[in-house]
Amino acid sequence: MNKRVGQLQLIKKIKLNYNNYLLEFKADSILSDIKPGQFVNIQIDRSPSTFLRRPISIYDVNYQTDTISLVVKIVGAGSETLTSTEPGSIIDMVYPLGNGFSQPKAGDKCLLVGGGVGVAPLYLLAKEMNINGIKPFILLGARTAEDHILLSEFNKLGEVFLTTNDGSLQVKGFVTDHEIWSNSLNFNKIYCCGPEPMMKAVAAKAAKLDIDCEVSLENLMACGFGVCLCCVTKTHDGHKCVCTEGPVFNIKDLEWQI
């Protein structure tokens, strides 16, 4: 199906921790075409400080009820306004945008690596893997125990491993410090989303272990559908738009110094 401008109704708002919210919207169209790893571009209020839309990755889709869920972390004026919106409100979104993650092959041993709010797009991916008979291993990192979100949801979809920078929950350190990397689990596919330094560290591990790895990038963008050419990342084939040719890239295509 096509990209569209939709008017979606906020039907549920759950505070996940001190700065993350789960927002669920009832869509005005059938969502069967949405794939894990895609995003929506949300109009905030066009006020002077939030003039442009805000791209937010899709956390979950209920294909039966046509609802779409997003995890929003408060980072500035846009997310502040969006998370203070009350259920019942109508929100203008352009969706679905971006390419999404590739489908794993049957029998693939998959590791999902998420950091902070970057865990969000991995949820729908893990859900789809479960439907296709793949139980992924899920490695999630956050600054503290409190920063870990949606753990009970991820626990339903695969074996979850955690790290915290301060050691307040499970392994102390970054996701790349976890012993899962030294175990001979023989992953053949890694999917990663989180802060860029984390993704680069994971990409370096994957490259060293010769494991196919996809990362979901988050560059500043104005349009979200490939016309402003602002959100580019360097690939071996020149600049590519993160919004249309990404946000998911295979690390072998990126010009990352890892």
Partner 1 sequence: MANLEVKIHNLTFKNPVITASGTFGNGVEFDDFIDVNSLGGIVLKGTTLKHREGNNYPRMAETASGMLNAVGLQNKGAEYFCKHIYPAVLRYDTNVIVNVNGSTIEDYIALAEIINDLEAIPAIELNISCPNVKEGGMAFGTSCPMAEQVTKEVRRVYSKTLIVKLSPNVTNIAEIARAVESNGADAVSLVNTFLGMAIDAEKRVPRLSTVTGGLSGPAIKPIALRMVWQVAQAVKVPVIGMGGIMCASDAIEFLLAGASAVQIGTANFVDPQVSVKVIAGIDDYLQRHNFNSVLDIIGGLQM
CA 32/CA 30 separation, integer angstroms: 6
Enter the DSSP assignment of 81. Answer: H
Note whether 57 binds partner 1 by CB under 8 A: no
Closest CB to partner 1 among 159 and 255? 255
| Site map (CB under 8 A) of partner 1, residues 189-208, x = contact | --------------------
Is-contact 235 254, C-beta < 8 A? Answer: yes
CB of 233 to partner 1, least distance (A): 7
Closest to partner 1 by CB, 138 or 217: 217
Closer to partner 1 at the Cβ: 51 or 63?
51
Q: How far is the CB of 187 from partner 1 (least distance, A)?
A: 30
Residues 213-242 that bind partner 1 (CB under 8 A): 219-234, 238-239
Among candidate residues 208, 64, 60, 81, the one with its CA nearest the CA of residue 130:
60
3-state secondary structure of 254: strand
CB atoms within 10 A of CB 100: 24
Instruction: Report the residue number, 47 or 132, with the smaller CB distance to partner 1.
Output: 47
Candidate residues 34, 39, 53, 150; the one interacting with partner 1 per rule CB under 8 A: 53
Distance CA 200, CA 83 (A): 30
Q: Rounded to the nearest 5°, which phi and psi values hold at 208?
A: -65, -40
Site of interaction with partner 1 (CB under 8 A): 2-5, 43, 46, 48-49, 51-53, 94, 219-234, 238-239
